[in-house]
């Protein structure tokens, strides 16, 4: 379960930011997970909750945002959500479209209370 390792990395980032800003208390960390990232959001949430349980970080909430796979057509610049195996542009039929979103795994914010 590589989600536990990812959860540990997220917690390390929280700890690093807490050291940089000792006057505040981190209350929430937001993470974007792309459809193609291979990360199970339920397993990540569970792993994070187990890591912070009975620690000073127990009050930190992990908020997950799911990002779908998005493609862009090089011919007409149309951006679309790829829901099937077929990457063709629904407007012009171009087959060679480019993946522009959906492989992310990013910490996008941390909320801090003072």
- For each of the domains in the chain, give its residue range(s) and CATH number, in order of start: 2-14+24-113 (3.30.2320.80)
Q: What is the pLDDT of residue 45?
A: 98
Over residues 25-79, the pLDDT tens digits come to: 999 999 999 999 999 999 999 999 999 999 999 999 999 999 999 999 999 999 9
Average model confidence (pLDDT) across the chain: 95
pLDDT band at 83 (very low <50, low <70, confident <90, very high): confident
Percent of the residues in the chain that have a pLDDT greater than 90, as a whole number:
90
pLDDT band at 114 (very low <50, low <70, confident <90, very high): confident
Q: What is the pLDDT of residue 1?
A: 58
What's the average model confidence in pLDDT over 82-111?
Answer: 94
Measured between alpha carbons, how far is 21 from 26 in angstroms, rounded to an integer? 9
């Amino acid at each position: 379960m590589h989600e536990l390792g990812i959860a540990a990395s997220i917690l390390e980032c929280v700890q690093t930011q807490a050291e940089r800003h000792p006057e505040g208390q981190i209350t929430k960390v937001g993470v974007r997970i792309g459809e193609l990232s291979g990360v199970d959001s339920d397993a990540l949430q569970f792993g994070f909750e187990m890591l912070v349980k009975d620690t000073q970080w127990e009050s930190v909430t992990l908020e997950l945002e799911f990002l779908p796979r998005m493609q862009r057509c090089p011919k007409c610049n149309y951006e679309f959500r790829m829901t099937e195996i077929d990457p063709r542009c629904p407007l012009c039929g171009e087959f060679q479209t480019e993946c522009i979103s959906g492989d992310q795994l990013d910490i996008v914010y941390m909320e801090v209370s003072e």
